Amino acid sequence: MFTGFLKSALPAVVMLAAAACGQSDLSKLEDDSASGAAPVAGTASAEQKIKIVGSSTVAPFSRTIAERFGATTSFSTPIVESTGTGGGFKAFCAGVGAAQPSISNASRPIKGSERGLCSAAGVTAITEIALGYDGIVVANAKEGLPFDLTKQELYLALAKDVPDGQGGFKPNPYKMWNEVAPNLPAKPILVLGPPPTSGTRDAFVELGMELGALEIPELAALKETDEDAFKARAHTVRTDGAWVDFGENDTAIVQSLVKSPDAIGILGFSFLEQNGDRVKGANLGGVEPTFENITNGQYGLARVMYFYVKDQNLPLVPGLAEFIIESVSDGAAGEDGYMIEKGLIPLHEAELGKAQEIAASLKTSAAPTP
């Protein structure tokens, strides 16, 4: 049954994954239509426009801000490209200059190795700014069966190797959800998820699979004796077809879930919000993935979204400081801001105030207004 399902479902999955991956070509950065940015406003040349790369989860928020910024100011509409968090930092760290990305969106904090990459290319001044919260959701088609999963069940369903009950590990034997836990649907395990370059993937394995692994005594003991070995076991996703890397495009995952009702997908909460007529979110330990449950901390797969500013580009790119200030303004990112309808979960008041202070401090280094 499982093999037959995979044969029928995977062709559509692979085609959409290929389309999603095709959006990461940085050679298209100068082309607004390729990046998904709004039509250009203002008079700045392509080399002077604000260029933004990075997380596919944060990109829709950046595009919303960019469209308003281009329409309501004298500056050109920023170019926004969805490359994934890891791919964004790679492009962001390539060098300093107006032709280089000035902002990198991220659904996780920057890694030390990525800061090292930046430093080696002369990108030595970087500012981190929190934008808001997001939840990571397990979703399936609206007509699909309901799911209520625990983190331990996520680990057991998706880890490459699981404890064998004799002190060792064995390749993951579970093919059906009800083999993981009898209360789960008698359906094949087929999960469409983000690739290793995605911040959503990083957050999912850290907040979901790792914490689920810790609920298993053998893995909790392993962490006490060898943390690196524990993380390798907890973070390594199975490669036997039960998990499909689906590119840096949650919209493509949504489209495939609609066509494959027995599959589930790993998405950012904002994509669930925007596609609530087509997909639904699974409960996590009995907690529904809602705006309120993520805000109050009850939902266990929540994270902070960031954007990183290349400070050295502030004097080189017109409007960069103004765009940063707008991004964390009350009107954009506050409780009643226009990004709320896009699915942004706002920072708490003190956190937003701190982000606004950081943004305002960058204005002193900005290019003069034309």
* Same-domain status, 127 and 139: no
Does residue 175 lie in a domain region?
A: yes
Q: What is the torsional sign of CA 229, 168, 242, 290?
A: negative
pLDDT of 296 reads 86
* Same-domain status, 261 and 140: yes
pLDDT of 270 reads 87
CATH number of the domain residue 219 falls in: 3.40.190.10
* Same-domain status, 97 and 113: yes
* Same-domain status, 228 and 327: no
* Same-domain status, 165 and 40: no
Q: Is 315 helix (H, G, I), strand (E, B) or coil?
A: coil
* Same-domain status, 140 and 129: no
* Same-domain status, 37 and 152: no
Question: Which residue segment(s) compose the domain that 203 sits in?
Answer: 2-14+135-302
Whether residue 21 is predicted with pLDDT greater than 80 in this model: the reply is no
CA distance to 13, 61, 130, 145, per residue, from 338 (Å): 33, 10, 17, 33
Does residue 370 lie in a domain region?
A: no
* Same-domain status, 240 and 314: no
Distance CA 133, CA 111 (A): 19
pLDDT tens digits, 116-126? 999 999 999 99
* Same-domain status, 293 and 308: no
Side chain identity, residue 273: E
Global confidence as pTM: 0.76
Model confidence at 369, pLDDT cuts 50, 70, 90, reads low
Whether residue 13 is predicted with pLDDT greater than 90 in this model: the reply is no
Whether residue 32 is predicted with pLDDT greater than 90 in this model: the reply is no
* Same-domain status, 286 and 161: yes
Does residue 194 lie in a domain region?
A: yes
Of 261, 277, 302, the one marking the end of a domain is 302
Beta pairing partners, 79: 51
Model confidence at 46, pLDDT cuts 50, 70, 90, reads low
- What percentage of the chain exceeds 70 in pLDDT? 86
Residue 147 near residue 282, CB atoms below 8 Å: yes
CA dihedral 338→339→345→351, nearest 10 degrees, is -80
Residue 307 near residue 106, CB atoms below 8 Å: yes
* Same-domain status, 283 and 310: no
Q: What are phi and psi of 57, to 5 degrees?
A: -75, -40
Domains: count for the chain: 2
Beta strands in 84-222 (DSSP E): 103-106, 126-141, 148-149, 161-163, 169-171, 191-193
pLDDT of 216 reads 96
* Same-domain status, 104 and 199: no
The pairing of strands 169-171 and 161-163 is antiparallel
